[in-house]
Amino acid sequence: MAVLRITKYGEPILRQKLKPVKYKDIAPRLPQLLADMEETCLAVRGVGLAANQIGLDLRLAIILLPDPKDENAKPTRYVIINPVILAKRGEKVEEEGCLSVPGLWADVARATDITVRYTDENGEEQVKRARGLLAKAFQHEVDHLDGKLFVDLVDPKLKPEVKKAIKQLRPKWD
């Protein structure tokens, strides 16, 4: 396993709409890839990591959902391949961050309850309803696969502030 470098805001691959994954083609390298993505995400205490955040053009992401009752417990891993959000319900504004914009936190509106369809790590199609943090994570990761970042969703009035903050943070990134 390996901790990989995470791409940062400003790198073109984060703005790419990623290529659909053919499960059969990726299956042989999937266990290693997922192990590396998980280790990379855990190393920076992330909740999710999309393929373009490690430089790959694949519609694939992982979510590592922490146990709300036990912060030392192993998070639940979701592997989401070619995900599509089928329905969104409710809305809540909450602070959000991203491993590709480290150090920045900003309020973003997200649906509170979603239904998502995706292929899992075994090649099985899943339809899942998610609420709370998991719903937020699914939306954040699907956005990554479409080349979108959470900073795109902040209130337009706050965008100049976000730009300024990114400019200040950037020299600290690897």
Give me the numbers of helices (H) and strands (E) for the chain, helices first please. Answer: 4, 7
Q: Please choose, out of 67-75, 92-100, 111-119, 155-163, the segment that lies near Zn ion by the rule CB under 5 A.
A: 92-100
C-beta of 141: minimal distance to Zn ion in Å?
7
Contact 66, 75 (CB under 8 A): yes
- What ranges make up the beta strands (E) of 72-111? 76-89, 92-96, 106-110
Does position 62 bind Zn ion by CB under 5 A?
A: no
C-beta of 32: minimal distance to Zn ion in Å?
22
**Tokens of residue 57, six digits:** 């053009």
Does position 111 bind Zn ion by CB under 5 A?
A: no
Does position 137 bind Zn ion by CB under 5 A?
A: no
16 secondary structure, DSSP code: S
Tell me which of 38, 96, 121, 141 is the catalytic residue.
141
Contact 93, 112 (CB under 8 A): no
Between 98 and 108, name the residue whose CB sits nearer to Zn ion.
98
Contact 61, 48 (CB under 8 A): yes
Q: Is 94 a catalytic residue?
A: no
Q: Which of 98, 104, 137, 154 binds Zn ion (CB under 5 A)?
A: 98
C-beta of 99: minimal distance to Zn ion in Å?
6
Which residues contribute to the site for Zn ion (CB under 5 A)? 98
